[in-house]
Amino acid sequence: MLNRREFLKYGGSFAIISILPSCAEATTKRPFLNLLPEQKEIEIGRSYVPYAIEEFDGLYPDREVQNYVKGVGLILTKVAERRLPYEFYVVNSSQVNAFALPGGPVMITRGLLLRLNSESELANVLAHELGHLNARHHARFLEKQFGLSLLLNIGALLLADKPYGQALLQFGQIGAGLLSLKFSREQEREADQYGLLYAYKAGYDPMGMIKVFEMFKAMEKGERAPEWLSTHPLPETRMAEAKRMIETLRPTGQFITDTQDFQVAKEKLLKTKPSFDEFDKGEKAFAKKDYSQASRHFQRAIELYPENYTARAYMAYILAMEG
């Protein structure tokens, strides 16, 4: 039986079997062999949403914070080229990260939100992930991995009535790659270009992205680099190029830098941080099978914030084992 991480890793491998002839990409306007129809891309992304949420410690349990981030994201989608069913989620991980899944889902961690200082910074982070989606970077990854020969091999496996588990083990690496997709410098430059333009068109100060970059660089010099940098390379040249892009936009007039709504959302996050800090300690103890220590941290997390449902789930699991 597959465990949670194995299921996440292998679960969506058979969603991609349709093939279309060559066409031009809607956003980049350059010829590209689109093996993956847009509807299939959307279906793949949707299928991975629950596993991605679980992998990043569930959804942050405050509806107002979720709705606020979704609202900022939907403002940005109005100026994006691809008409995808975009969705925005705040996941409850303490990691400093944001990512997208094929076809529209965008996720930002509680840990990254806590590091941001303004709505323009949030908007630029979300716009950057929309840039990856509009440049079809996730779709290209899938097309590269599921080339024509691999698609035919999958079909042959199905026709041969191979065991489902065996097929998953042979072709399931693709699913894991969606959550740890490492972008090239060219892809990052392209996502920067789209993201800065989207933020600008939506009325946000594009310098918010530079401030985010500076925050990441400062963290990189500390004890632990943010997880975002493991998939989004940030050389000094990229920051310089982003600044040049902003100069070409010639931003003038009034831009949204910050709002009261952002500060209210961040205050909520700050109030729950002690609870989730305790949860992180408990999770580390749990991984070491020190269930007594883990229980103490989880119990403290629940006392600090009763809606810490992930801590409650771990506590229930430990109690079931002890019972």
Which residues are marked as active site? 129
For 84, phi and psi rounded to 5 degrees?
Answer: -100, 160
Query: Cβ(32)–Cβ(25) under 8 Å?
Result: yes
Residue 168 structure tokens: 């998953």
What are the angstrom distances between the C-alpha of 124 and each of 130, 242, 249, 277? 10, 12, 15, 27
Helix (H, G, I), strand (E, B) or coil at 232: coil
CA-CA distance, 161 to 167, in Å (whole number)? Answer: 10
User: Alpha-carbon torsion 13, 51, 66, 259, what sign?
Assistant: negative
Residue 150, class by beta-carbon neighbours within 10 Å (0-12 exposed, 13-18 middle, 19+ buried)?
Answer: middle
Q: What angle do CA 152, 156, 159 make, to 5 degrees?
A: 135
The continuous run of DSSP H or E covering 269 comes out as helix 260-287
DSSP state of 256: B
DSSP 153-188: HHHHHHHTT--HHHHHHHHTHHHHHHHSPPPPHHHH
How do beta strands 31-32 and 23-24 pair? antiparallel
